[in-house]
Structure 1
Amino acid sequence: MRTDKKRTGSGLWMGSIIAALIAAISIFIVMLQMEKKVLSEYEKGFVYMAAVEIPKGEFITDKNIDKYLKVVELDVKLIPETALTSSEQLNGLVAATTIEEGVFLTEGMFEQENVITKQMDHPVIAGFKAEDIYQVVGGVLRAGDRIHIYTVSEAGIAGLIWEDVFVQQVFDSSGNLIMAGNTTSAAQRINVYFDAKDVERFYTELARGTLRVVKVCESE
């Protein structure tokens, strides 16, 4: 009799364990289905983020893209409409302002190189030394800056010749490229975008020593 009771109790205990196990498995399956549903509703997208600070005037190229940019996965609902989401969008971009590390990148943060030169029939890069300009803000010029170039007549009358000239690159006295984020090195050689038809006059005025350069403030 006692043996039968033990067997009955043991059977009930085993039945309870099996029932609990089945219930746990059922709950687990339900949770998996719910998670799958949530994940299916979460549409993934990719967006570019600044991996480090991107200096104003920095050109994004194949050589530095891995340094400055990284890809982040996000819910598409969180990605701005103007966000940079593909490598094709990055071709020929120039940082319009200094971009802080960790910022999601959008179209408004950059200029297209072809937009900078679109008003030119034949864009070229012309260079000059700071010492060749009678008055130049050479020390504070950096890639991405814009300048107005004036000429001064023998009578001392100044006239604007070219405005909003884009500074492409600047170099120090040793010929080393000065990065846009460098605030200490003095720019001794400056490269700018010019229309080919204006280059002859530019160098003629440069040789005469009549040119003056004014940096355009960002608020203009």
Structure 2
Amino acid sequence: MKRIKIRYPKEKRKKNPAWRFLFSFFMAFLVFLLLLILEAGIQNKEEEKQVVMAVANIPKGTELSDEIIANSFREIYVPVSYVPDQAIEDRKQLAGNITEEEICEREILTIPKLCELSALLEELEEPVEVSVSVTDLSQVVGGIIRAGDRINLSVTDRETGVNERIISNVYVSGAFTSSGNRLDRVRTEQEQPPATVLNFWIPKAMEQAFNEKINSGLLRISKIQ
């Protein structure tokens, strides 16, 4: 005789309305908390500003040529709170300037760190550029001279042996080797030979007297530290 299985309907569990309420409340609170965190993150994202940063150490007195500007500086964005006063925003602003102080790698460049060449020449009345030759290293006192340095010049008379200061605190506009290669301040002094030709600016009114003086004796050059 075949047995017949009788299936009894399962008793349905009654859903607990309190548990459903707690679950809904928890999910709503979680969403609310996530929205708060997201909003705080957006508010804390600080405004950024473009500035010019050095990517190499630049010595004091460096004339910022197109090559140096291209290789030694970059435009970056930084949070506004990190931007110093008078920060330079565009590399185009560097053209025609000389560094007034040493600039360190990763330093944000500011206007007080620079001086315009035209401003230096305003100190002179009708400035003219002249050149002198350095035939012996004993003529130079105070270290290797590069463009951007300040120097004093004097002459020791061949006949009397008297040393006379002929000009003080002049700006060196160029330093060259005997073959005419311009010496770069950015590279270390150990990588380059001493200068044998120096260019600098003097007032036009004293040009003739200057040339007469340097031809009358032995030229001495003192680098101003």
Q: TM-score over 0.5 for the alignment? A: yes
Which of 19, 33, 36 in structure 2 is aligned with 1:30?
Answer: 36
Q: Which residue of 1 aligns with 2:172?
A: 167
Aligned to 1:76: 80
Q: Is the 8 A contact 1:133 1:210 kept in 2?
A: no
Describe how 1:40-55 pairs up with structure 2 within 5 A: 42-55=46-59
Which residue of 2 is the match for residue 186 of structure 1? Answer: 194
Secondary structure at the counterpart of residue 49 of structure 1:
strand
2:37 is paired with a residue of what secondary structure? helix
Aligned counterparts of 1:2 and 1:73: Cα–Cα separation in 2: 68
Structure 2: give runs of 5+ residues left out of the alignment.
1-8
Q: How many percent of aligned residue pairs carry the same amino acid?
A: 25
For 1:195, the equivalent position in structure 2 comes to 203
Per the TM alignment, residue 141 of structure 1 is displaced from its structure 2 partner at its CA by 1.0
1:176 — aligned with what? 181
2 CA distance for matches of 1:198 and 1:3? 117
| Structure 1 position 199, deviation (Å) | 2.7
Shift of 1:144: 1.6
Cα distance in 2, alignment partners of residues 111 and 134 from structure 1: 31
Distance in structure 2 (CA, Å) of the matches to 1:3 and 1:46: 71
Mapped contact 1:132–1:209 kept (Cα < 8 A): no
Quote the Cα distance in structure 1 between the aligned partners of 2:12 and 2:204: 107
**CA shift digits 1:92-113 (9 cap, x unpaired):** 2212343221222233333221
Q: Deviations over 1:95-150 (max 9, x none)?
A: 23432212222333332212221112222322222128983349711122111112
Cα separation, 2, equivalents of 1:62 and 1:172: 21
1:137 and 1:203 map into 2 onto residues whose CA distance is 21
Provide TM-score, normalisation by structure 2: 0.76
Give the structure with higher Rg (CA): 2
Q: What residue number does 1:156 align with?
A: 161
1:136 aligns to 2:144 (yes or no): no
SS at the partner of 2:140?
Answer: coil
Matched residues, number: 213
User: 2-side partners of 1:3 and 1:170: how far apart?
Assistant: 102
